[in-house]
């Protein structure tokens, strides 16, 4: 059997173990310590724009704290991109609030500004102004941020930016993860860099980040005994995991180059195959880290080609590929949530496939993927 090719696997840089060894040598084996502080500073320096960063146990925890900081409570509504991973919307439910899902537009595959405005107007007309807008940059592709921020500002609704997949991407030169009132990064094992598991909350508002650190460490008031006047969470990042993160930050620029190179390699390899369309940046203002390379199978069905058959053909070659994420308004768990859409994200789900995209794929790995896809088309 051929060696397994994963869709996106961890890729260490080399210095991670030295940061972990330092943690052991100094006995900082805890959810605080010099690696946590250092990792936060590294992320803040990478993003620039004077942002502050809280390193947390996961991206999901960061999204949850973002909603808490914005005062989202039971009975509230939060607008959320439908085409995303369930972790974007789950924290809305943790708060007892209702997600209001909005469909994608076809250029970036992210939230449609027109449908966003329609949703905001209709929710206000129905008597409830949304408490926040959760925007996602799927597979690293920037959403139409000018138009989305303009709508959010005009209706005075804060934006939570789920940039879990978009570290290293930018829009008009501004790094993703710096647009939201609060923005979120993830360092899960499959992301562009990893801490094995982890996340971060990012904001220009230092008070919010301080409050996030407070809530993430069980909301302990300043007192010698355990004194609490808020409900707290155990959401801080471990100093061991943050050591991995510091090592990963050293090679993040290389990882961005490598992920993007995968995308361009596939694009060239499949250039002659008119059925395969790519998730291309619509304009030079959009700079994607191409965390995952996603393709759409257009006008292929009549030839008996569809994304599921290609996925199975790859699986037979021990190559992992995955359909684009299923829109959340179609998920059983969110079946009763309001939805504003035109079928775009459902259509993307039916036609789309994510190809192996790790920064650690070799030329031979990529060639194997291309051969398997081309072999399927030729058969
Ligand atoms: C990975 C991911 C998350 C969740 O991050 P975790 O660190 O796994 O909790 C949230 N949103 C999106 C879009 C993601 O890809």
pLDDT tens-digit map of 203-252: 999 999 999 999 999 999 999 999 999 999 999 999 999 999 999 999 99
Q: Does residue 346's CB lie within 6 angstroms of at least one atom of ligand 1?
A: no
Q: How close is the Cα of 61 to the center of ligand 1, in Å?
A: 9
Q: How close is the Cα of 242 to the center of ligand 1, in Å?
A: 17
Mean pLDDT computed over every residue of the chain: 96
Helix (H, G, I), strand (E, B) or coil at 136: strand
Q: How close is the Cα of 11 to the center of ligand 1, in Å?
A: 18
Q: Does residue 194's CB lie within 6 angstroms of at least one atom of ligand 1?
A: no
* Token reading at 334: 């969110």
Q: How close is the Cα of 196 to the center of ligand 1, in Å?
A: 13
What was the pLDDT predicted at 2? 85
* Token reading at 200: 């971060």
Close Cβ partners of 110 (under 8 Å, ≥ 6 residues apart):
81, 83, 104, 135, 136, 137, 138, 141, 142, 143, 144
> Which domains does the chain possess?
16-251 (3.40.640.10), 253-378 (3.90.1150.10)
Q: How close is the Cα of 139 to the center of ligand 1, in Å?
A: 11
Can you tell me the distance from the alpha carbon of 337 to that of 73, in angstroms, rounded to the nearest whole number? 16
Nearest CA to ligand 1 atom 6: 59
Q: Which atom of ligand 1 is nearest to the CA of 199?
A: 7
Q: Does residue 199's CB lie within 6 angstroms of at least one atom of ligand 1?
A: yes
Q: Does residue 108's CB lie within 6 angstroms of at least one atom of ligand 1?
A: no
First CA to last CA distance, the chain = 21
Q: Does residue 111's CB lie within 6 angstroms of at least one atom of ligand 1?
A: no
Going by C-alpha positions, the residue among 75, 160, 79, 161 that lies closest to residue 119 is: 79
Percent of the chain with pLDDT over 90: 96
Q: Does residue 19's CB lie within 6 angstroms of at least one atom of ligand 1?
A: no
Going by C-alpha positions, the residue among 287, 295, 317 that lies closest to residue 379 is: 317
What was the pLDDT predicted at 348? 95
Per residue in 309-329, pLDDT (tens digit) is: 999 999 999 999 999 999 999
- Given a cut of 70, the residues of the chain with pLDDT beneath it are 1
**Rounded to 5°, angle at Cα 355 from 370 and 244:** 120
**Strands 276-278 and 322-323, bridge-based pairing:** unpaired
Enter the pTM of the model.
0.97
Question: To test the ligand 1 pocket, which listed residue (162, 195, 201) has its Cβ within 8 A of the most ligand atoms?
Answer: 162
What was the pLDDT predicted at 163? 98
What was the pLDDT predicted at 379? 77
CA 101 → CA 67, 119, 151, 331, 339, distances in Å? 16, 9, 16, 11, 5
Q: How close is the Cα of 272 to the center of ligand 1, in Å?
A: 34
Can you tell me the distance from the alpha carbon of 179 to that of 129, in angstroms, rounded to the nearest whole number? 21
* Longest alpha-carbon distance in the chain: 72
Q: Does residue 165's CB lie within 6 angstroms of at least one atom of ligand 1?
A: yes
């Amino acid at each position: 059997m051929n060696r397994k090719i994963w869709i996106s696997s961890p890729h260490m840089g080399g210095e991670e173990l030295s940061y972990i060894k330092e943690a052991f040598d100094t006995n900082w084996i805890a959810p605080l310590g010099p690696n946590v502080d250092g990792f936060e500073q590294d992320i803040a320096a990478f993003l620039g724009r004077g942002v502050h960063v809280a390193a947390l146990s996961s991206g999901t925890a960061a999204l949850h704290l973002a909603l808490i900081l914005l005062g989202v409570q039971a009975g509230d509504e939060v607008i959320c991109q439908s085409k995303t991973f369930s972790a974007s919307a789950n924290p809305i439910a943790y708060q007892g609030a209702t997600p209001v899902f909005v469909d994608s537009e076809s250029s970036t595959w992210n939230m449609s500004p027109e449908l966003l405005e329609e949703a905001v107007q209709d929710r206000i007309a129905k008597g409830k102004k949304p408490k926040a807008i959760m925007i996602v940059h799927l597979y690293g592709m920037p959403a139409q941020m000018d138009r989305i921020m303009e709508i959010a500002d005009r209706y005075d609704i804060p934006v939570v930016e789920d940039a879990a997949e978009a570290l290293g991407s930018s829009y008009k030169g501004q790094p993703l993860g710096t647009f939201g009132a609060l923005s979120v990064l993830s360092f899960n094992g499959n992301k562009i860099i990893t801490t094995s598991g982890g996340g971060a909350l990012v904001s220009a508002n230092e008070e919010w980040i301080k409050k996030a650190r407070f809530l993430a460490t069980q909301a302990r008031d300043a007192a010698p005994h355990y004194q609490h006047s808020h409900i707290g969470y155990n959401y801080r990042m471990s100093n061991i995991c943050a050591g991995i993160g510091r090592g990963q930050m050293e090679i993040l620029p290389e990882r961005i180059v490598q992920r993007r190179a995968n995308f361009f390699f596939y694009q060239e390899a499949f250039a002659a195959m008119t059925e395969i369309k790519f998730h291309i940046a619509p304009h030079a203002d959009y700079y994607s880290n191409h965390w995952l390379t996603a393709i759409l199978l257009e006008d292929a069905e009549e030839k008996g080609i569809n994304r599921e058959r290609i996925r199975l053909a790859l699986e037979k070659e021990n190559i992992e590929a995955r359909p684009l994420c299923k829109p959340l308004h179609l998920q059983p768990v969110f079946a009763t949530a309001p939805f504003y859409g035109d079928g775009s994200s459902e259509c993307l789900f039916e036609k789309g496939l994510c190809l192996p995209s790790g920064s650690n794929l070799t030329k031979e790995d990529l060639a194997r993927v291309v051969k398997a896809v081309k072999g399927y088309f030729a058969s």
